[in-house]
Amino acid sequence: MRQGTFQWMKSVNKSIILNKIRTDAPISRAQIAKETKLTPPTVSSNVKELIEQGLVKESKLGESQGGRKPTMLLINNQEFYVVGVDAGPEMIECILTDLSGKILNRTLSKLTTPLTNNQFLIILKDCIHNCIKDIPSTSKKIIGIGIAMHGVVDVETGTSLFAPILSLTNVPIKEELEKEFELEVKVENDARAMALGESWFGDHGELTSMLVVNIGRGVGAGLIIDGNLYHGAQDIAGEVGHMTIDLNGEICECGNRGCLQTFTTGPAIARRAMKSISQELITAEEVYELAIRGNEEFVTLLKETGRVIGIGLTNLIHIINPQKIVLGGGVTKAKEFILPVILKTIEECALTPRAKQTEVTITKLGDDATLIGAVSLLLVDVFDPN
């Protein structure tokens, strides 16, 4: 979908109707009018346009309510594409999906540091080009590109203000990609994008608030309030990895001491393991595999990691008090060791009985949680009337 033709999707009534079809399909025009409070003529005229534009299709007849059987409506998921990108810090991964989030193609590019802004943008562009190369350049079926970028992002301008692990600042991602691809581009912090993906595809039901925490190479979070991402006054809401746990702890990549992510990320787990066994090189994945095989020292190390995560989450429960917390990222693959300790720590440290019962789960979206979140950045524009 070329940038100039993207505006047809942004009618409030169309978005209301589309979202109703997305969440309740198959559904009739009469049901949409009744449940959205839009008039039947408004629904009919908008549905007609949406069918002509290929976003909605008619399906088999529904059950009769006394008159003739109504024609049911569905989202035409296969008619349009969305590009989702998980950008950094160790690689750029790109997917092409349909409107249902089904992954149709995938490309991957490694990142090696040191890296300049220009080098990063070249790798990013090449990865996207490779992902969509089978779609004709004249096609208007790509709605846009969603970028989940690690670090601090200015979502208004689509600029990566500070990517600490890559040591990059002020990367004009949106500007460069829109110039290259002539498509709508949305750029968001990776953890916040993941949170949006959870709210759309995580099967969490109706929640007024949900905190999603991504624990991998770094630690970040996204807060969903009434279905919307919360960004904060300066676009740094969710940087929970830089919550201070130990004033005298080791220096974090951000320059401060004792941040949460100096204890809980994959590299932090590996560093602690190497100190304990006086071995030069071991990865967090190897620590986990050896723990599964019965290495008690590494079992203890992972449980200690769960304890620190639990303390961090308890702090967040006291500050935010979300209905639900969802954990994702590579470290959560060791859930059998860390999750019971996280839950126990919250139970021991939370202030009130109800706070102690805050639901904490592991994402069902797996390794693709951030990528699906990047796709969701565009779907919000299509389906969300807010």
pLDDT band at 61 (very low <50, low <70, confident <90, very high): low
Give the mean pLDDT of 322-343. Answer: 96
Domains of the chain, earliest start first: 3-76 (1.10.10.10), 80-195+370-383 (3.30.420.40), 204-363 (3.30.420.40)
Please tell me the predicted confidence (pLDDT) of residue 307: 97
pLDDT per residue over 144-180, tens digit each?
999 999 888 999 999 999 998 899 999 999 999 999 9
pLDDT per residue over 200-222, tens digit each?
998 888 889 999 999 998 899 99
pLDDT band at 6 (very low <50, low <70, confident <90, very high): very low
pLDDT band at 34 (very low <50, low <70, confident <90, very high): very high
Q: Cα-flanking dihedrals φ and ψ of residue 73, to 5°?
A: -115, 145
Give the mean pLDDT of 302-327. Answer: 96
pTM value is 0.86
pLDDT per residue over 230-260, tens digit each?
998 888 889 899 999 999 999 998 889 999 9
For the chain, percent of residues with pLDDT exceeding 90: 70
Please tell me the predicted confidence (pLDDT) of residue 196: 94
Please tell me the predicted confidence (pLDDT) of residue 68: 65
pLDDT per residue over 86-126, tens digit each?
997 889 999 999 999 999 999 999 999 899 999 999 999 99
Q: Are 57 and 337 in contact (CB under 8 A)?
A: no
Whether the pLDDT of residue 2 is over 70: the answer is no
Whether the pLDDT of residue 65 is over 80: the answer is no
Please tell me the predicted confidence (pLDDT) of residue 60: 75
pLDDT band at 13 (very low <50, low <70, confident <90, very high): confident
pLDDT per residue over 343-375, tens digit each?
999 999 999 999 999 999 999 999 899 999 999
